Structure 1
Amino acid sequence: MTEKYEYVPHRLLHRKVRDAASGAEGVLMAVINENVSNTVDEQWMELAYIRGASGREFTTAASNVEPAPDQPQTAAGRRHSRSA
């Protein structure tokens, strides 16, 4: 088994996010491509590390990460809401 991990860039890094699978919220600390298999056959997955309000980190699939609902809109989002 190869023990090579790789940090993956993510647009929500260091922002408040929500795990769509559990509903838990926290700050996205890192996304890492990890071998999640405990057998000879490797299975790689992008895992998101989220630090919750308690200070403890939990993981979820990177595809489950979405902006937290109470996040301020980006400048582009505000621009679109004014036009109408």
Structure 2
Amino acid sequence: MSEPYEYVPHRLLRRRVRDIASGVEGELMAVINENVSDTGVERWVELAYIRGASGREFTTSAANVEPAH
């Protein structure tokens, strides 16, 4: 891939979600397949971008995202 990232469709986009790793809730803004390597070997990870109540976004593994209840 020539780009360092690509957007990934996700069923919970723009919905209230919970990061199971931290317990923080917010709105899922995007899921991006990102090359997180700082070496010559590519390492691709699906990162979820969640906007918390403060308005600041944080990232977590897309596998850690679940619907908030």
Which residue number corresponds to residue 43 of structure 2? 43
Name the structure with the higher strand share.
Answer: 2
Which deviates more from structure 2 when the two are superposed, residues 14-23 or residues 2-11?
Answer: 2-11
- For residues 31-60 of structure 1, the C-alpha deviation after alignment (integer angstroms, 9 at most, x for no partner) is 000001111111001000000000000000
Q: Which structure dedicates a bigger proportion of its chain to helix? A: 1
Give the structure 1 partner of residue 25 of structure 2: 25
Q: 1: CA distance between counterparts of 2:37 and 2:5?
A: 13
Identity of aligned residues (%): 78
Q: Which segments of structure 1 move beyond 4 Å, counting only runs of 4 or more?
A: none
Q: Give the letter aligned to residue 44 of structure 2.
A: W
Separation in 2, partners of 1:37, 1:55: 28
Q: Secondary structure at the match of 1:63?
A: helix
Unaligned runs of 5+ in 1: 70-84
After superposition, residues 1-84 of structure 1 pair within 5 angstroms as 2-69=2-69
For 1:9 and 1:3, how far apart are their aligned partners in 2?
17
TM-score under structure 2 length normalisation: 0.93
What TM-score comes out, normalization by structure 1 length? 0.77
User: 1:46-79: per-residue Cα shift (whole Å, max 9, x none)?
Assistant: 000000000000000000000002xxxxxxxxxx
Over aligned residues, Cα RMSD in angstroms? Answer: 1.0
